[in-house]
Protein backbone atom coordinates (compact mmCIF):
# COMPACT_ATOMS: atom_id res chain seq x y z
CA UNK A 1 0.00 0.00 0.00
CA UNK A 2 1.15 3.49 -0.73
CA UNK A 3 2.39 5.56 2.18
CA UNK A 4 3.52 9.13 2.69
CA UNK A 5 6.06 9.99 5.37
CA UNK A 6 6.63 13.40 6.88
CA UNK A 7 9.58 13.02 9.19
CA UNK A 8 9.39 16.43 10.85
CA UNK A 9 6.35 16.43 13.07
CA UNK A 10 7.04 19.71 14.84
CA UNK A 11 9.19 22.53 13.54
CA UNK A 12 9.87 25.79 15.34
CA UNK A 13 11.57 28.65 13.52
CA UNK A 14 12.17 32.34 13.92
CA UNK A 15 10.96 34.78 11.30
CA UNK A 16 13.23 35.07 8.25
CA UNK A 17 14.64 31.60 8.76
CA UNK A 18 14.61 29.19 5.84
CA UNK A 19 12.22 26.28 5.83
CA UNK A 20 12.42 22.79 4.42
CA UNK A 21 9.82 20.16 5.27
CA UNK A 22 10.48 16.61 4.20
CA UNK A 23 8.03 14.37 2.37
CA UNK A 24 8.73 10.88 1.06
CA UNK A 25 6.30 8.58 -0.69
CA UNK A 26 6.49 4.88 -1.26
CA UNK A 27 4.91 4.37 -4.67
CA UNK A 28 7.33 3.69 -7.53
CA UNK A 29 5.19 4.45 -10.55
CA UNK A 30 3.55 7.60 -11.84
CA UNK A 31 2.54 9.80 -8.97
CA UNK A 32 0.85 13.14 -8.41
CA UNK A 33 2.06 15.06 -5.37
CA UNK A 34 0.50 17.81 -3.28
CA UNK A 35 1.23 20.06 -0.35
CA UNK A 36 -1.67 21.41 1.68
CA UNK A 37 -1.64 23.97 4.46
CA UNK A 38 -4.09 24.25 7.34
CA UNK A 39 -3.96 27.54 9.21
CA UNK A 40 -5.27 27.50 12.78
CA UNK A 41 -9.03 27.06 12.77
CA UNK A 42 -9.26 26.95 9.00
CA UNK A 43 -9.72 24.33 6.32
CA UNK A 44 -7.01 22.73 4.24
CA UNK A 45 -5.86 24.74 1.26
CA UNK A 46 -3.74 23.62 -1.63
CA UNK A 47 -0.27 25.17 -1.60
CA UNK A 48 1.09 23.53 -4.71
CA UNK A 49 0.94 20.37 -6.77
CA UNK A 50 3.10 18.34 -9.11
CA UNK A 51 1.68 16.28 -11.94
CA UNK A 52 4.45 16.27 -14.54
CA UNK A 53 7.01 18.51 -16.21
CA UNK A 54 9.37 20.81 -14.33
CA UNK A 55 10.21 19.07 -11.04
CA UNK A 56 10.54 22.41 -9.28
CA UNK A 57 7.04 23.58 -8.52
CA UNK A 58 6.17 27.05 -7.33
CA UNK A 59 3.10 27.58 -5.20
CA UNK A 60 1.33 30.35 -3.39
CA UNK A 61 2.84 32.56 -0.69
CA UNK A 62 6.43 32.00 -1.79
CA UNK A 63 6.45 28.24 -1.26
CA UNK A 64 8.09 25.82 -3.64
CA UNK A 65 8.68 22.08 -3.73
CA UNK A 66 11.06 19.88 -5.64
CA UNK A 67 10.16 16.45 -6.95
CA UNK A 68 13.18 14.16 -6.86
CA UNK A 69 12.12 10.88 -8.39
CA UNK A 70 15.27 8.98 -7.44
CA UNK A 71 14.71 9.85 -3.78
CA UNK A 72 10.91 9.47 -3.83
CA UNK A 73 10.80 12.90 -2.26
CA UNK A 74 8.79 16.09 -2.60
CA UNK A 75 10.19 18.48 -0.03
CA UNK A 76 8.58 21.83 0.65
CA UNK A 77 10.74 24.92 0.91
CA UNK A 78 10.48 28.59 1.64
CA UNK A 79 13.58 30.83 1.82
CA UNK A 80 12.25 33.17 4.51
CA UNK A 81 9.30 32.30 6.72
CA UNK A 82 6.89 34.72 8.32
CA UNK A 83 4.88 34.53 11.52
CA UNK A 84 1.77 34.07 9.36
CA UNK A 85 3.18 30.79 8.04
CA UNK A 86 2.40 29.18 11.38
CA UNK A 87 0.20 26.26 10.38
CA UNK A 88 -0.05 22.53 9.83
CA UNK A 89 1.43 21.29 6.54
CA UNK A 90 0.34 18.07 4.86
CA UNK A 91 1.97 16.25 2.00
CA UNK A 92 -0.21 13.98 -0.13
CA UNK A 93 0.39 11.55 -2.97
CA UNK A 94 -1.86 10.03 -5.57
CA UNK A 95 -0.55 7.08 -7.53
CA UNK A 96 -1.31 6.84 -11.22
CA UNK A 97 -4.75 5.47 -11.88
CA UNK A 98 -5.92 5.97 -8.30
CA UNK A 99 -8.43 8.53 -7.10
CA UNK A 100 -7.75 8.25 -3.37
CA UNK A 101 -4.95 10.53 -2.14
CA UNK A 102 -2.72 9.31 0.69
CA UNK A 103 -1.83 11.97 3.23
CA UNK A 104 1.15 12.22 5.52
CA UNK A 105 0.56 12.80 9.21
CA UNK A 106 1.40 16.48 8.93
CA UNK A 107 4.07 18.84 10.19
CA UNK A 108 3.22 21.52 12.70
CA UNK A 109 5.18 24.69 11.97
CA UNK A 110 5.45 27.46 14.54
CA UNK A 111 7.15 30.67 13.52
CA UNK A 112 8.17 33.03 16.29
CA UNK A 113 8.07 36.75 15.46
Window of 19-27, 35-43, 63-71, 76-84 that interacts with other proteins by CB under 8 A: 35-43
Q: Does 32 bind other proteins (CB under 8 A)?
A: yes
Are the CB atoms for 66 and 74 separated by under 8 Å? yes
Which span sits near other proteins by CB under 8 A: 17-25, 53-61, 73-81, 93-101? 93-101
Span interacting with other proteins, options 12-20, 54-62, 70-78, 94-102, rule CB under 8 A: 94-102
Contact flag: residue 24 with other proteins (CB under 8 A): no
Contact flag: residue 9 with other proteins (CB under 8 A): yes
Q: Would you list the DSSP string of 25-46? A: E---S-EEEEEEEE-TTS-EEE
Out of 17, 27, 49, 66, the only residue in the binding site for other proteins (CB under 8 A) is 49
Of 110, 79, 99, 103, the closest CA to residue 6 belongs to 103
Query: Considering the complex, what minimum distance in angstroms separates the CB of residue 99 from other proteins?
Result: 4
CB 79, CB 61: distance < 8 Å: no
Rounded to an integer, what distance in angstroms lies between the CA atom of residue 32 and that of residue 98? 10
| Cβ–Cβ under 8 Å, residues 112 and 59 | no
Provide the binding-site residues for other proteins, judged by CB under 8 A. 4, 6, 9, 32, 36, 42-46, 49, 90, 92, 94, 98-106
Amino acid sequence: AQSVSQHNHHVILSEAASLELGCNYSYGGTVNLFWYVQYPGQHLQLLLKYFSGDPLVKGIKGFEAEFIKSKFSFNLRKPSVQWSDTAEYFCAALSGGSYIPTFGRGTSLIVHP
